[in-house]
Amino acid sequence: RKEVEQDPGPFNVPEGATVAFNCTYSNSASQSFFWYRQDCRKEPKLLMSVYSSGNEDGRFTAQLNRASQYISLLIRDSKLSDSATYLCAVDLGGATNKLIFGTGTLLAVQP
């Protein structure tokens, strides 16, 4: 089993739709969680951290479910500019300061 797993998609949604991505992780000792966004031929950039209580940033909401070991990202009112690959990342903590990335979920927002 991969350490961090995501549905690769693609998710094809119309503008204005709400779309949700899930990401599961295998190590229950994982400490921190993040969503990154990667545009075509660009580097991954942090979209948001994921906190235990859930957190929101505009149209984006991130949730963490430690019991079931998954994180989610909800995008409301999708825009064309949201089209990208969304990568979840999990930090095991400790001395290595290492992030494990999922394979990414491709989102294509259609006009």
Two structure tokens written together for 61: 């909401």
Q: Which one of 15, 20, 27, 42 is in contact with other proteins (CB under 8 A)? A: 42
What gap in Å lies between CA 92 and CA 111, rounded to an integer?
39
Q: Which one of 7, 13, 32, 55 is in contact with other proteins (CB under 8 A)? A: 32
- Closest to other proteins by CB, 6 vs 78, is 6
Q: Is 20 in the site for other proteins (CB under 8 A)?
A: no
Instruction: Kindly report the backbone phi and psi dihedral angles of residue 82, in degrees, each rounded to the nearest multiple of 5, phi listed first.
Output: -80, -10
Instruction: Kindly report the backbone phi and psi dihedral angles of residue 77, in degrees, each rounded to the nearest multiple of 5, phi listed first.
Output: 50, 60
Q: Is 85 in the site for other proteins (CB under 8 A)?
A: yes
Longest dimension (CA), the chain: 46
Contacting residues toward other proteins, per CB under 8 A: 32, 34, 42-46, 49, 85, 87, 89, 95-101, 103-104
